[in-house]
Amino acid sequence: MVDSSAGGKMSAHGGGGGRTRVGRYELGRTLGEGTFAKVKFARNVETGENVAIKILDKDKVLKHKMIAQIKREISTMKLIRHPNVIRMYEVMASRTKIYIVMELVTGGELFDKIASRGRLKEDDARKYFQQLINAVDYCHSRGVYHRDLKPENLLLDANGTLKVSDFGLSALSQQVREDGLLHTTCGTPNYVAPEVINNKGYDGAKADLWSCGVILFVLMAGYLPFEDSNLMALYKKIYKADFSCPSWFSTSAKKLIKKILDPNPNTRITIAEVINNEWFKKGYQPPRFETAEVNLDDINSIFNESGDPAQLVVERREERPAVMNAFELISTSQGLNLGTLFEKQTDSVKRETRFASRLPANEILSKIEAAAGPMGFNVQKRNYKLKLQGENPGRKGQLAIATEVFEVTPSLYMVELRKSNGDTLEFHKFYHSISNGLKDVMWKPEGSIAEGDETRHQRSP
């Protein structure tokens, strides 16, 4: 048994089938990747429960002097028990990494619905917006501000319930100054409040509500209220709140959105006022809260400066492609639709894609490396993973792509290419370009729809 309480020693035993084992958890495929962290699928080998584990690099945390803030944020997050916020279970550490064990949500992103089906009906948009406001309001009441609310952070569980991810963990590098305001400009520009761009300090609660207003607009309209290919032109539109609601918005919805997207944070509507708004209250169901005793000993122990080795987990890995179990394989498919297990490209732009191959894993990686080089990418190879780094600066920085090979059966592999930095549209173009040079690598099962036919099929009513 592995004891996660204070003083309990966490041991690791090498798992078979190319798995990495950390404490009681067996790590699987990477679900997401950012500057400071990556998120991996994992399974608790004692209970069989599937979870997600966020892995932070200790060196980067120390370099950016983030220890105190991360400890504070993680402690707060572990205390948050809300049906619309991703749950945090426990925290572990090895000598080089911090592991945050979280609830695994398998229903995909809310915005995948918009990408595939278009805008939502007003009643459906209101339901999701109510859940979003519930989550944001609850966390604000505990002093936690998201500061980077955007489509990637709105997930759905298997029952279609909205779950906000990365609350308090998405903007770890931000600091509150003596004036009580935040001063770091971050987030996705289209969703960021004007006072954040202004860089004169901002109230985290008011900035979060602005982002919620943009999200509500997108849910109902199917497009962004502020959009421009030129960044300065985009900022000018945001400063002036230069937008107009489409004709199909109800009058009461238009009024609420205009009150939320008020460029002056001092006159902007508050969350309390939103909750009392007549449009918002229609069909509103207040959330039920779970109150339970929470132990923070694991957080205190991993940040203990004495560095007691008994508190550390050991990470062990095996040099071969990770084996993907049936649940993981199915969970890669949107909405558990087995027809999309391996990517069939549509017009919607995604941050990851995957394909199947019958070739040996080493040969697959060699062919990807050979195809990426002439396209202006530097390639780093480790185990059965590649990191492709673009040489040219893109619209949102240099494009970086993480590639990993998973063994599905001894003669079938799944290859995943995932954007880890840069612009999603540029990644989309890269994939289409490189796939032309990988036609002898990609395998399609009999009866699969050709790429062009698939796009036409999905567009038809």
Annotated binding site for ATP: 54
- Give the chain's radius of gyration (CA, Å): 23
- d(C-alpha 234, C-alpha 252), whole Å: 27
Q: CA 176, 177, 182, 185 torsion: positive or negative?
A: negative
Which of 221, 146, 140 is CA-nearest to residue 188? 146
User: C-alpha distances in angstroms, 332 versus 48, 327, 354, 447?
Assistant: 19, 9, 9, 20
Q: Which residues of 124-161 are buried (b: 16+ CB within 10 A; e: fewer)?
A: ebbbbbbbbbbbbbbbbeeebbbbbbbbbbbbbbeeee
- d(C-alpha 211, C-alpha 226), whole Å: 12
User: Which residues fall in the annotated binding site?
Assistant: 54
- d(C-alpha 429, C-alpha 60), whole Å: 31
Q: Are 398 and 377 in contact (CB under 8 A)?
A: no
To which residue do tokens 């409040």 refer? 193
Q: Are 93 and 9 in contact (CB under 8 A)?
A: no
Does the active-site annotation cover 242?
Answer: no
DSSP 93: E
Catalytic choice (148, 203, 208, 262) = 148
Q: CA 191, 231, 256, 210 torsion: positive or negative?
A: positive
Q: Are 423 and 396 in contact (CB under 8 A)?
A: yes
Q: Are 388 and 377 in contact (CB under 8 A)?
A: yes
Q: Which residues of 202-214 are buried (b: 16+ CB within 10 A; e: fewer)?
A: bbbbbbbbbbbbb
Ordered DSSP codes for 320-342:
SPEEPPHHHHHHTSGGG-GGGSS
Instruction: Say if residue 248 is exposed, middle or buried (CB neighbours under 10 Å; 0-12, 13-18, 19+).
Output: exposed
HSE of 458, CA atoms in CB hemisphere, 13 A: 17
Which of 182, 180, 162 is CA-nearest to residue 171? 182
User: C-alpha distances in angstroms, 400 versus 173, 348, 396?
Assistant: 21, 20, 11
To which residue do tokens 């990686």 refer? 365
HSE of 88, CA atoms in CB hemisphere, 13 A: 25
Active site residues: 148
